[in-house]
Amino acid sequence: MTRAVAGDDRYGSAASAQVLIAREPEPRDDSSPLEGGLERVCGAAVRALSASGAGISVMTEDGPPGVAAASNPTSRLMEEMQFIVGEGPCMDAFALRRPCLQPDLDDSPRDRWPGYTAGALEQGTRAVFAFPLQIGGARLGVMAIYRDYPGSLRPEHLALALGFAEAAVTMLLNGQQQAPTDEVAGGLGEALEYRSEVYHAQGMVMIQLRVSLAEAMVRLRAHAFAEDRRLAEVAREVVTGRLCLPTNGA
């Protein structure tokens, strides 16, 4: 059942985002499945949110940040610029672990991001909406939506943007385990599966396997995927001590 037409239904926005991503054209042959998937997210976001561009950068606790996907050259430039000047909405979204929504760069305090703001306006970007790609303490990157005109995101657009961010998180987690990136069917059901027990299991696996929190979720999902079981079930077994994931990956 597709109840999902571009974000007119705030309750189905995660599903809507999945449907819109699936409608995007196949990625170029030379891109990896992960890059291709993320580019489709950017493309779908631009179309659905009346944006001029979108970009996804990978940012983690350790290791240098990098641009993973962008909808067009200007967006790629915007993504790269923030790393050069070392400031901007994406950097803040990552550091503060929350969205950083800037509906009018021309009307924001200049001292917040002097270098970034000047550069962005020069590129014709007026509004930036940055969403952290994270699950609790596990940080994977930031998705940015760019517009060449000022103004807030409408609530339904906001819900949809969060749906796109969620899809990007799933892709980044899957990308790390080399699983298929196209998970249209799994979308919403899986989102509802993220309950406290899954997070408890994630914390436990992090300690058991001495891996990062993000990697712990990758391992949990990989196990569920390989055994064709639900993430919540696997999590419950970990929490009750009936299952101990192997140390060497899936």
Partner 1 sequence: MTTIPAERLADVFVQVADTLVDEFDLIEFLQMLTGRAAELVDAAATGLLLADQQGNLQFMAASDEDTKMLELFQLQVHEGPCQDCFRTGQPVTNADLGAAADRWPVFAPRAVEAGFGSVHAIPMRLRTETIGALNLFSDRAGGLQPDGMHIVQALADVATIGLLQERAVHRGEVMTEQLQSALNSRIIIEQAKGAIAQIYTVTIDQAFQLLRGYSRRHQLRIGDVARALVTDPASIPNLTAV
218 makes contact with partner 1 (CB under 8 A) = no
- DSSP H or E run through 173: helix 155-176
Q: Pick from 41, 44, 143, 159: which binds partner 1 (CB under 8 A)?
A: 159
Q: How far apart are CA 215 and CA 221, in angstroms?
A: 10
Element (H, E) at 127: strand 127-135
Q: Please give the size of the binding site for partner 1, defined by CB under 8 A.
A: 42
- Are 108 and 31 in contact by the 8 Å Cβ rule? The answer is no
**Interface with partner 1 includes 145 (CB under 8 A)?**
no
Q: Angle CA(224)–CA(226)–CA(229) in degrees, nearest 5?
A: 40
Q: Pick from 174, 205, 178: which is nearest to 187 by CA? A: 174
> In angstroms, what is the minimal distance from the CB of 197 to partner 1?
8
Any contact of residue 230 with partner 1 (CB under 8 A)? Answer: no
Q: Which of 13, 4, 10, 19 is nearest to 182 (CA)?
A: 19
Of 199, 219, 234, 245, the one binding partner 1 (CB under 8 A) is 199
Q: Quick one: 2 exposed, middle or buried, by C-beta within 10 A (0-12, 13-18, 19+)?
A: exposed
User: Restricting to residues 35-74, which ones interact with partner 1 according to CB under 8 A?
Assistant: 61
Nearer to partner 1, 39 or 92 (CB): 92
Please tell me whether residue 98 binds partner 1 under the rule CB under 8 A.
Answer: yes
Judged by DSSP in three states, 181 sits in coil
Residue 135 as a binder of partner 1 (CB under 8 A): the answer is yes
Side chain identity, residue 66: G
206 binds partner 1 (CB under 8 A): yes
How large is the C-alpha radius of gyration of the chain?
Answer: 18
For the bound state, the minimum distance from the C-beta of residue 7 to partner 1, rounded and expressed in Å, comes to: 11
- Is 186 a residue that touches partner 1 (CB under 8 A)? no
Q: Which helix (H) or strand (E) holds 237?
A: helix 231-239
| 32 near partner 1, judged by CB under 8 A | no
By the rule CB under 8 A, 203 interacts with partner 1: yes
The window from 20-28, 35-43, 141-149, 150-158 that contacts partner 1 (CB under 8 A) reads: 150-158
When asked if residue 244 is in the footprint of partner 1 (CB under 8 A), the reply is no
**Block residue for tokens 């940015």:** 144
We find the least distance from the C-beta atom of residue 84 to partner 1, in angstroms, to be 25
Q: Between residues 70 and 245, which has the closer beta carbon with respect to partner 1?
A: 245
Secondary structure (3-state) at 5: coil
How far from the centroid of its chain's Cα atoms is residue 74's Cα?
A: 20
Nearer to partner 1, 67 or 143 (CB): 143
Q: Which residues contribute to the site for partner 1 (CB under 8 A)?
A: 10-11, 13-14, 61, 96-103, 132, 134-138, 152, 155, 158-159, 162-163, 191-192, 194-196, 199-208, 213, 239
